[in-house]
Structure 1
């Protein structure tokens, strides 16, 4: 018999989910996008919200519907392919990019401003080690995860973010600026692609299973109840993220008079400059607290999810050992520096994001496919092929021979072919004869 959760427990799980999502990318990318968008910040913001809020929420729903993580969601693919996709996504969102980025952003915005000239590679290394020791401590307290994050860290984070958001709207530090770069002609599309950088659709594939495990530990065992509570938690997280993004976009749009964006300026610098103008030196302490808490809670969620996944993949590997190994690798990778890590991650995200979106679409439309196995294989191959083209283009390779593809110039070459593959899987495969012929080919 499943246990019905109290309202306080549901809110705690929702806050925990919000805190897991709100990390480094969620804080540094919206201010920069808002600054560049200027007067076009509204369509740019809606594009960003589509990939940074809408897609993660839909992904949570897909995880709830599938009743399991990536391996369950890709069960119609060959076993080796499904495992390879899952491992790749967990490595990207874990030790390769997202998790080390939490430490780097926390250092750049929470510690470095107070170190001044004393900041160097040694201080970064020491901070990375300390940050991931604390991360490991919370992640190892697996049974107390919801209490540590949902009931302790998150309320403090929400209070600090609310103070900052109110101040941004009540006391804007400038007029809304002009639109620049790609935000002049295609602000929605540019905002949509910027949302990739948060990696939250990947995170949803991880956190969804983590939340299911938390629900099981609370006595929620039947799939219907798990679906209900997972959707509720995802909705709470989505509302919180939208609140943060809207305020940070507006902050960026009204920051052009404070800071001129160049090649060496990132969203963290814009946010730090704005907070300094709003609150003076006390603002630096508020910002340091917000960023450190946000990055720490995300790091805890990522470390837990990665360890859970590889423990399920290889039960002989203990959860605690995997948490420690993951945190050690993250501490090492973090020392490459924030700008370098971001520059490496962007082409990878352009190549892999279409795969994650395709998985979600396939799960949500699963009942409509006459042959789910064929549909999953066709759609995933198409999404991967055209996603790689987008990734190679962003990486700077000469790709002029593919400019005839629809939306290729905007980094969305995968969209129409993937949609067409889905339509073919639904409509053209209804006849058993067609299915047999297609599989034979």
Structure 2
């Protein structure tokens, strides 16, 4: 591997490693207890494996993530890809990153319930994000060569301190991790948003390699896999470390989110310096992710609407700023149902991209698999939003894996097989 591959791989790691990646592994660790390693493996599959597959899938196409969903129908491709970019950028992903950065780096030092500190912080945060996002071609070097090494050093420092300092025994798993901790961890991986964010980040990786003279499809796929491996290994190490910190914190009080767990752990390990160190980690992680999301969504919507790139990223930044000031809990409450709905569809599209040659790229296969997946994931999304669908629930409960939150799996397979049958029948 050459220097460019490492630079792009580290950029990809930094883009993935944002708000959700910080706050969910510690929560998993403290809840899973003695079932930690089983749970974290499930988390890694959806939090690392799927995103790397998604980035690689983008290297198969010529332009962006829309081409993957265009296999179903061009109109579906436009709508679904737009929903993905809106979800990971101005509506959920970027605002969540900004509010997590504030709550874990600034709020511990304010002792105020006033919204003014958050307002001032987000003004500064988003002005800097906008300035870094104006020139996408420089982003790779800015993040890959400078910001990511600082971020990794800070995380390594916190992790080493935790292994040397936190030596309490693991506790009994909470109720949701007592049965099927692997699948619970698998579902928790959804909340990082990384599999859908990867559809946006993938084109940034591909373009970065193209700018360095790699243009053939096979070379792009191989280079993307290598960069993905670097990012993936880094993420696995970091997730495992953060989750392990959480698993050791159960006797140190009750916590409402992963941010509180890490803040308390950092304080125990390093005192006030630990709080500052964690603040550095959080701000860098959320800042780099926000830049990547602004750039990716800006390039997509600029290409789609023909509006100049700088006006698109200005709009995305302003929307993100306004939503960030609604607070972290509000953002999380509204994002979970949307993620529960779009994640299964995204997973199916990614897997079909790799299986495409087996069924000759038949659109009927894509349509059948995605249609049935969407029907059942919509039910899950509405349920997560709080709708009572008791009339449907008794039928849904008979589906394999329904209790694990994976009731869409068998319908997706059946839909794909029906599509394959229809395609063969037509021909």
Q: TM-score range by the shorter chain?
A: over 0.9
Match of 2:381 among 368, 391, 408: 391
- 1:397 deviation in Å? 2.2
Q: Flag structure 2 segments of 5+ consecutive residues without an equivalent.
A: none
Alignment of 1:260 onto 2:254: yes
- 1:152 deviation in Å? 1.0
Q: Which residue of 2 aligns with 1:412?
A: 406
Q: Which residue of 2 aligns with 1:180?
A: 174
- 1:430 deviation in Å? 6.6
1:174 and 1:134 map into 2 onto residues whose CA distance is: 41
Contact 1:64 1:231 in 2 (8 A): no
Contact 2:12 2:231 in 1 (8 A): yes
1:57 and 1:142 map into 2 onto residues whose CA distance is: 21
Match of 2:317 among 316, 327, 334: 327
Question: RMSD of the TM alignment (CA)?
Answer: 1.5
2:69 and 2:412 map into 1 onto residues whose CA distance is: 16
Contact 2:11 2:144 in 1 (8 A): yes
Structural mapping, 1:164-243, within 5 Å:
164-243=158-237
Match of 1:84 among 70, 79, 88: 79
Q: Which residue of 2 aligns with 1:21?
A: 16
2:381 and 2:180 map into 1 onto residues whose CA distance is: 19
- 1:259 deviation in Å? 2.1
2:5 and 2:27 map into 1 onto residues whose CA distance is: 34
Q: Which residue of 2 aligns with 1:110?
A: 105
- 1:343 deviation in Å? 1.1
Q: Which residue of 1 aligns with 2:60?
A: 65
Q: Flag structure 1 segments of 5+ consecutive residues without an equivalent.
A: 1-5, 437-441
1:259 and 1:271 map into 2 onto residues whose CA distance is: 12
When the two structures are aligned, how many residues end up with a matched partner? 423
Contact 1:371 1:429 in 2 (8 A): no
The CA deviation string for residues 31-77 of structure 1, in whole angstroms up to 9 with x for no partner, is 01110110111111111011001111111121112343222112322
Q: Which residue of 1 aligns with 2:284?
A: 293
Match of 2:134 among 136, 140, 159: 140
- 1:174 deviation in Å? 2.1
The CA deviation string for residues 6-39 of structure 1, in whole angstroms up to 9 with x for no partner, is 7112111110000000000000011011101101
What is the TM-score of this pair, normalised by structure 2? Answer: 0.96
Contact 2:5 2:227 in 1 (8 A): yes
- 1:224 deviation in Å? 2.3
The CA deviation string for residues 258-283 of structure 1, in whole angstroms up to 9 with x for no partner, is 1224xxx1000011011111110100
Q: Which residue of 2 aligns with 1:101?
A: 96
Alignment of 1:349 onto 2:349: no
Q: Which residue of 2 aligns with 1:439?
A: none
Match of 1:278 among 264, 269, 285: 269
What is the TM-score of this pair, normalised by structure 1? Answer: 0.93
Q: Which residue of 2 aligns with 1:123?
A: 117
What secondary structure, in the 3-state scheme, does the structure 2 residue paired with 1:86 have? helix
